[in-house]
Structure 1
Amino acid sequence: MREIRAIIRPEKLQEVLEALERIGHPGVTVYQVEGHGRQAGLVEQFRGREFRVDLLPKLELRIVCRDEEVEQLLQAIAGAARTGEIGDGKIFVYPVLEALRIRSGERGEEAL
């Protein structure tokens, strides 16, 4: 099993969720996060004064899946989240050692 963590632009969430639904994988957890990479923040103006916003709003999506589903999920997320501009985000894949469905007691891939 693997966990996919995708950091995306907030405005791309609906497109990503629709892409996941189309491939039959609707389960996702979404977190509101802040950060920056190469995008390095923005310079904004407020009441005639400039100020720098170093941490930009992003969303983190987490999905746990079977090993054989990883590539399809990566393609779906990246395709839906891509604008071609700096700040589109990143996707990370981690191993998952165990899963347990609390309601039924199912373990491993059966818990997904």
Structure 2
Amino acid sequence: MFKLLKYNFTNFLKKHLLLIIIIALNLGLSKLLNLIIDKVPLNTNLTITLTSLANTLMVVFIISLIALPVMTFILSVMRYKRKVLGDEGYLIHTLPLKKRDILDAMILNLLI
């Protein structure tokens, strides 16, 4: 079961790596902009521009945080359908595992 979980997890990371990088960069840029905004005097055009940019980055950050679990669920369902119920299912069913172990590995990967 753990080998199956390992392969599922590496596939998960390949699919989600771009979104995780976007979230990390967005968080870093947001923090940097907030530090710059604190140093700039109030009521200037630069402050207004930086504040609107920081707010836009925060909205993108929130949307990407919402998109990550949704994308995880959709990709896990698609992968389960392809790997267990689709043409590749005969490979999974030849493993010396119980049906419950296969399902547990897929669900555990979804929860991680």
How does the TM-score come out when normalised to structure 1?
A: 0.28
The structure with more strand, counted as a fraction of residues: 1
How does the TM-score come out when normalised to structure 2?
A: 0.28
The structure with more helix, counted as a fraction of residues: 2
